[in-house]
Amino acid sequence: MNVAWTQVALAGVWGGLVAVERKAFLQAMFSRPLVCATVMGLLLNDVASGLLIGMLLELFHLGTANLGASLPDNDTLSATSTSAAAATMAAATGAGSTPALWSLAVLLFVGMGRIGRLVDRALERYSGRLARKALASAEAGQLTRAMQQNLWGMWPHFLLFGVMTGTCALAGFFIGPLLERLPLPLLRGLAWAYPAMASVAAALAAQGSHARRAPVYAALGAGFVTVAVVLYLLLRGRL
């Protein structure tokens, strides 16, 4: 097994950048799962994995919101980690990305969003302390120092989330070869699990809209996504 350290580094840098963009800089929606996962796939030469995992996780997290003291799972880390792992798993197998691989990556790494929430909570306390120091510096007329303290608050986001994303990308190189040892029926089950996950994610997105007929929209959305994904996989000859 050969580890492509360049891909691990690229995954870490992109994971760190979108973590900063999500919280502290620009906030132009690059950190949304669909966007950050697709770009991750582009960087790691596996756009299909990035796009289809990003679509699934975008729907899954569409109804979440950061309101008041409520802190949802970190959808950005979930997307970057899962798409990075899927891309490196595909690179390690040498057989390209498949629905079975996407399903396995989601099952193994989607929980990174929960870990990201814990890190977010810890970093909010750290950022709060820096903000108070920066305010005190500004009130004392030390504007340059205040700006430096605000900018310094971004580094932990970049470093911690970059390391976590890069670690998931590295894990993909070790998990990929194991995928080839799985029994064929299990691989087929994982392949069919992807459209099932997509339909559930679509239902959750519709339900989270709180529309008057949300259950109906959820059922229609789940059915549409399931049919679309199955047709796509049949056309690609992967089912």
Q: Which two tokens stand for residue 125?
A: 């306390």
Residue 151 located in a structural domain: yes
Q: How many domains does the chain have?
A: 1
Q: What is the pLDDT of residues 15-59, one digit of tens each?
A: 999 999 887 676 778 889 999 999 999 999 999 999 999 999 998
Contact 73, 111 (CB under 8 A): no
Residue 208 located in a structural domain: no
The predicted pLDDT at position 152 comes to 61
Comparing 21-30, 79-88, 229-238, which segment has the lowest mean pLDDT?
229-238
Task: Residue 81: name the closest of 2, 154, 160 by CA.
Answer: 160
Provide the residue count of the chain: 239
Comparing 107-121, 145-159, 181-195, which segment has the lowest mean pLDDT?
145-159
Residue 225 located in a structural domain: no
List the domain range (segments joined by +) for residue 58: 5-182
pLDDT tier for residue 68 given thresholds of 50, 70 and 90: very low
pLDDT tier for residue 237 given thresholds of 50, 70 and 90: low
Residue 207 located in a structural domain: no
H-helix or E-strand spanning residue 112: helix 112-139
Residue 157 located in a structural domain: yes
The predicted pLDDT at position 4 comes to 85
Contact 40, 50 (CB under 8 A): yes
| Residue 78 to residue 59: CA distance in whole angstroms | 13
Residue 77 located in a structural domain: yes
CB-count burial class (<10 Å; 0-12, 13-18, 19+) for 29? exposed
pLDDT tier for residue 73 given thresholds of 50, 70 and 90: confident
The predicted pLDDT at position 226 comes to 66
Q: Does the structure show a pLDDT above 70 at 210?
A: no
Q: Does the structure show a pLDDT above 90 at 78?
A: yes
Task: Residue 86: name the closest of 13, 162, 194 by CA.
Answer: 194
The predicted pLDDT at position 67 comes to 46
Residue 25 located in a structural domain: yes
pLDDT tier for residue 185 given thresholds of 50, 70 and 90: confident
Task: Residue 194: name the closest of 237, 233, 236, 235 by CA.
Answer: 233
Residue 189 located in a structural domain: no
